[in-house]
Amino acid sequence: MNKVTFAATLVLAASTLPSLAFAQDVAAGKSSFNKCLACHAVGEGAKNKVGPELNGLNGRKSGSVAGYSYSDANKNSGLTWDEATFKDYIKDPKAKIPGTKMAFAGIKKETEINDLWAFLAQYTADGKIK
């Protein structure tokens, strides 16, 4: 096998294998969400609590859930929630949005963060699972 064919085969094989570094486990994310339940809800019928409900988080502008009283810092952050923004935020919410009302120390483990995002990202704005 020549070098070009071997390299192409290697790239193709690597791209079809799931990446262990980015593997996400929705069930583990649901378990991790237990840390959030005191303040947040998700799913059909979710309501704002101490924090806003988290349905349809992916693509939502920060500070935009109807009926929730956000801090000015959060309303004016200019953030739109997506995977990268959430993963950065959840590590240290007060560092990402200084002045936020969210009193949470953060989650540091990348695997747990990935799993939590997988769990939250599956919910549409009406609380249904995609």
pLDDT, tens only, 75-124: 999 999 999 999 999 999 999 999 999 999 999 999 999 999 999 999 99
Identify the structural domains of the chain with CATH numbers, from first to last: 23-121 (1.10.760.10)
> Residue 111 burial by CB count (10 A; 0-12/13-18/19+): exposed, middle or buried?
middle
Q: What is the pLDDT of residue 24?
A: 83
Q: Tell whether the torsion through CA atoms of 29, 31, 32 and 37 is positive or negative.
A: positive
Q: What is the DSSP letter of 97?
A: S
Q: Within a 13 Å sphere around the CA of 94, how many CA atoms are in the beta-carbon half?
A: 7
13 Cα distance to chain centroid? 29
User: Which has more confidence, 12 or 96?
Assistant: 96
Residue 125 reports pLDDT greater than 60: yes
> Residue 71 burial by CB count (10 A; 0-12/13-18/19+): exposed, middle or buried?
middle
What is the rounded distance in angstroms from the CA atom of residue 77 to the CA atom of residue 63? 8
pTM over 0.85? The answer is no
